[in-house]
Structure 1
Amino acid sequence: MSLVSCTHALILLSIVLLSDYFVVIPRLRVTTLALLIGLSTALLLYRRRRPGPRKPSAPGQSSTRTLLIGVAVLAGYTFCIDVLRAESLFGPVVALVSTIAVVSMLPLFERDSGLNTLRWFRITMAVSLAFALLQAAGVAITLPALLPLVGPITADPPINSLSAHSRASGATTNTVKFGLEVSALLAISFFAYVEKSSLARIIWITACFTTLLATQLRAAIFATPICLGLAQLWLAPAARRGWGRTIPLFLAGLLLGGLWLGSSTSRFSYLLKEVDAGDTHRFTVNLNLAEAVLETSPWIGIPPKDAWELYLQYGDQKIYRFDPNAETPTHHNQVGYYLRNYGLIGVALLLLVYILAFRKALAAAAPWTRCTIVAILLIDLISSFAHNNKLLASPLLWILLACAREVPAGQSRVLP
């Protein structure tokens, strides 16, 4: 294997399977080290470029360059705001380096075959899916429980029992991260099957669909089928062959999902529960703080430490679990996060980066690859309104976005 291929395998392994592990101190995560190795590799490859006249940009390369410029503008703006508010440079510098490391996955993974990238993703996800299926069967086990210590590499405390709602989390303990990874794999498997049907792809789709239900991640579960349909309707509306395979899959998924949920409502207590006071608290705090920011500092937002003080002036203090002495409330909303901390300018720059990311996805030469990457971006975007996932903090998104590039001569597709 080449240096690039080894680096890719290490990064995907750290993201999918080793995110609960750290080296010596909890803040030094294995995933962080892998991303820094990837960033160093990308810089090394850039320095080794042969001098000479620049070749014309291949389809997809110009969109990559434009996207990276958009990210640089957003990251530079947020860094400046953070520096003005911070008591030291440590926090803003760490955040900036983290963003650079995450986004560097795009040019790094563009140097390898999309087939190779997705192959490694499937291998690592197969291991995580196996853990999830055991969890769905009632066996509380994760990778840290099996392998808590490897020399200086230590895992976070493993779970000893399933959560109150029996939500599957795969090889790691992060249900939200795992659910979004499963959604991405489901999109890849779904459009690979739509392009060319096979029993193996049906098995992948079934495993992903079953596991996604087991995570009980409501945002991803409801967003995934909608985004898959929208991506195909938008990018391949006239593909009769595709719709002939899509509609039966949707109907089968609806039938099987309904039967499973109906036969075991107690197992899906989180997925089937009504909106409770905790949900109301989260959305109310976000809404009231957004209104307060627009009233006081709409363009650049407010410092995080001032969030509760501002909420005391504008918010409803009678809501469930209100605690002015608690830490700044979690966002559970990417747009709300940027509005609160960076104002309308930050939201506008985030929107620009999303537009450029979709433009990059649409640059893929293979039609079903375009559908896949667009669907994955849509799923993550919709989920970000209910969870703390963010575009600039999701290395897997930038890795998969790298698959949207020119297909080599003689190769009709990128999806395996």
Structure 2
Amino acid sequence: MPKISSKGQQMPQSPIRKLVPFAEAAVAKGKKIYQLNIGQPDIKTPSCALEAVKNNAIEVLSYSHSAGFESYREKLAHYYTKTGLPVEKEEIIITTGGSEALLFAMGTITDPGDEVIIPEPFYANYNGFATASGVTIKPIESTIENNFALPPIEEFEKLITEKTRAILICNPGNPTGYLYTREEVKKLADLALKHDLFLIADEVYREFAYEGAEHHSVLSIPEITENAIMIDSVSKRYSMCGARIGCIVSKNKEVMATAMKFAQARLSPPTFAQIASEAALDTPQSYFDEVIEQYTLRRNILVEGLQKIEGVKVAKPKGAFYCIAQLPVDNADDFARWLLETYEDNGETIMVAPAAGFYSSPNTGLNQVRIAYVLKKEDLERSLEILEKALKEYNRQN
């Protein structure tokens, strides 16, 4: 039998999606599952985006430019400029989701065997993107004790070698919800300049900052114009996860010219999704005001509820819509599977994402889970009730 590649064998499973077969089996048995495992908002997609697709009179569904529609890039550049980031359309390439933008970034700046430094826990698919690109992740651990704040910059510097090509951050963070301060972003920028590294910022949750906190983009630091690469997406901002539209943004012309070769190789991003995404830029500020208010409420319900459960430790998010909770269990992976396979409370259970998959360091985060507070108030309250009961039952059995 032909052999599977080493790269394929090393490709990690998604900690978010690997439990889906168990969830499907649970649903088949009649269980109701509250899905806290995935960042799929229940917020309605802006009507202007949906209407743009419904009312379109396209007769030939043709390719777009490999960089994406010029009209969309112009409008997107205007959006960034309004937020204080003067970006030109030539500095934007539209991608099939933020995932493709990250793959383009890694393909553009790294060779097999190169290293990228990432604070962990981090978005689980960074592990997969690194494996696909032949890149080695050099993790630097942030901790729940200080809400997963940026580790000391000296710890980053210790990891820099001749193979280091970039530092990658997610801001606000998935899975932690941590929002970097301007001072923290500036420290990373200074380090990137000092060692001639790229600083990649995954900013797909940039709209979601709470209690008056401000998001500071990597593109807001003028000193690192040639070193900065921003990743963005419409998935969370407009509750359009299925559109699969993102972008890579940089003022470094060589980076963009190289990324364009990757874009040309995959031909173009999807046409209808670009139409919806371009129209979504007309979404009024009132939409975001309501969304932020809703997520702030949900965050408070979740965090305050978790703090009341015996043995649970939780970091309070400042942005995005996730938090990491440390549970009184030895193996969160086993607990998450048990919730789906065995446990129910009046025919209901919950689904969480074991956090070990959000780390690169082995045997780290084994008793942690990521919880997405993307469900309505009543469902979050019921989920907390189920979690508290389930932890008591699981620990009683074990």
What's the TM-score once normalised by structure 1's chain length? 0.29
Higher relative contact order (CA 8 A, sep 6+): 2
Query: Which structure has greater helix proportion?
Result: 1
Query: Which structure has greater strand proportion?
Result: 2
